[in-house]
């Protein structure tokens, strides 16, 4: 017997984006990640779905997936300061503070937060 299909993957890219945002805003992060995973793969050249996917992974404690997605984002968009910040925070949550520090410093510098 086939597994039941869900409506998560149904509709246009715009409809799936709106659905993912609704799940994210409702703090249903794991469900938002399910919708966003396919959407981000479909449009890898768009930053917004990939960044929201990384955030959904982070908030649903899928930290290894968040790290992987954030590294992919930064490979393509190295000046994305929010991705730098998120990667630093993700690495901190993974207990890798020394590895997180350069990303956090870079994110701060990119945002104009310089230590006095």
Instruction: For residue range 50-108, list pLDDT tens digits in order.
Output: 999 999 999 999 999 999 999 999 999 999 999 999 999 999 999 999 999 999 999 98
- Token pair of 1, please? 């017997």
Tokens 């246009």 sit at which residue? 12
DSSP code of 115?
-
Contact status, residue 73 vs residue 104, Cβ threshold 8 Å? no
Contact status, residue 38 vs residue 9, Cβ threshold 8 Å? yes
How much is the pLDDT for 116? 53
Instruction: For residue range 12-27, list pLDDT tens digits in order.
Output: 889 999 999 999 999 9
- Percent helix, strand and coil across the chain, each rounded to 5? 70, 0, 30
- Residues 88 and 83: their CA atoms lie apart, in Å, by 8
Instruction: For residue range 29-60, list pLDDT tens digits in order.
Output: 999 999 999 999 998 899 999 999 999 999 99
């Amino acid at each position: 017997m086939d597994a039941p299909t869900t409506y998560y993957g149904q509709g246009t890219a715009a409809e799936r984006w709106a659905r993912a945002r609704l799940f994210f805003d409702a703090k249903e992060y794991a469900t938002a990640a399910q919708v966003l995973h396919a959407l981000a793969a479909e449009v890898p050249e768009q930053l917004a779905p990939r960044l929201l996917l990384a955030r959904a992974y982070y908030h649903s404690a899928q930290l290894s997936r968040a790290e992987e997605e954030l590294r992919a984002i930064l490979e393509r968009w190295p000046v994305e300061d929010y991705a730098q910040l998120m990667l630093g925070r993700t690495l901190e949550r993974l207990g890798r503070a020394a590895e997180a520090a350069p990303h956090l410093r870079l994110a701060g510098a990119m945002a104009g937060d310089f230590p006095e």
